[in-house]
Amino acid sequence: MKRQLEWQIATVKAVRTETPEVKTLTLALPDWMAHRPGQHYDVRLTAEDGYSAQRSYSVGSEPERTGEIDLTVERIGDGEVSPYLDDTVVVGDRFEVRGPIGGYFVWDSSIGGPLLLVAGGSGVVPLMAMLRHRAAAGVKDPARLLYSARTYEQIIYGDELERLARKNGLTVSYTLTRSQPAGWTGYARRIDDAMLKEVSAPLGRNALAYVCGPTALVEVAADGLERIGLRAERIRTERFGPSGS
């Protein structure tokens, strides 16, 4: 059996609040192996009576960080795993994980070329792994992120995205669909063809696009990218949780 399909015991090294509904857990792994940005880990929790629940979470950290990974978890009210991870877990806790898993929705510096990322809600997590890796690897090819969230307070990784956007040709654009703070200069509607065209135009039609978020957003964005001229084989999609945008 491949190592990534074997369960191991992760130890929580740090817990960081990203938004009121989202936390990042830094996990130390005894059998760490480098992931490809876009891959995920399975998390399994087992109760004293033997009942277990399992969910998959994308890795948010870059593979250049050895020995540990970040899993960014959005709390789902009626979920079996995310409420425990977000509300109960503290530094020093341990639970089972396996990974990294996935081979389609991945990107690394060896691919090269213009990169277009479209995220809705917590769908930004695997795309953040790509952007952190891109920065660590010193990639110079242009990249653009279009990130849709309901409100400004629900933007995950906001401060770090602003720092990343100041270097290596990365541009970050936001659209806030429910409410906007005073003086907001970004987009203020759901993603549509006009927005996609405006954000992606500087990259040209040979950009490689990754779209991650709720199903409705992913379908609108992927279809829209085709309508504005990207070939279907240049568009990769992943549906990611129930968070709205």
Domain boundary among 101, 135, 170: 101
> Beta strands of the chain (E only): which ranges?
8-19, 22-28, 40-46, 52-58, 68-74, 94-101, 115-120, 143-149, 170-176, 208-213, 235-239
> 140 and 88, same structural domain?
no
Q: Which domain holds residue 167?
A: 115-239
Domain boundary among 42, 74, 101: 101
Q: What is the pTM of this model?
A: 0.95
Say which CATH number the domain at 76 has: 2.40.30.10
Total of domains in the chain? 2
User: What is the C-alpha separation between 83 and 73, in angstroms, rounded?
Assistant: 9
* DSSP secondary structure string for all residues of 5-44: GS-EEEEEEEEEEEETTEEEEEEE-TT--PPPTT-EEEEE
User: What is the C-alpha separation between 107 and 229, in angstroms, rounded?
Assistant: 21
What mean pLDDT is reported for the chain? 95
Q: Which amino acid is at 212?
A: C
Residue among 1, 68, 70, 59 at smallest CA distance from 31: 68
> 127 and 85, same structural domain?
no
> 131 and 169, same structural domain?
yes
Residue 44 lies in a domain: yes
Residue 17 lies in a domain: yes
Residue 228 lies in a domain: yes
Helix (H, G, I), strand (E, B) or coil at 169: coil
> 63 and 132, same structural domain?
no
Residue 128 lies in a domain: yes
Domain boundary among 101, 124, 149: 101
Residue 109 lies in a domain: no
> 163 and 219, same structural domain?
yes
pLDDT, tens digit, for every residue of 122-148?
A: 999 999 999 999 999 999 999 999 999
> 41 and 124, same structural domain?
no
Say which CATH number the domain at 174 has: 3.40.50.80
pLDDT, tens digit, for every residue of 177-230?
A: 999 999 999 999 999 999 999 999 999 999 999 999 999 999 999 999 999 999
Helix (H, G, I), strand (E, B) or coil at 70: strand
End-to-end C-alpha distance for the chain, whole angstroms = 39
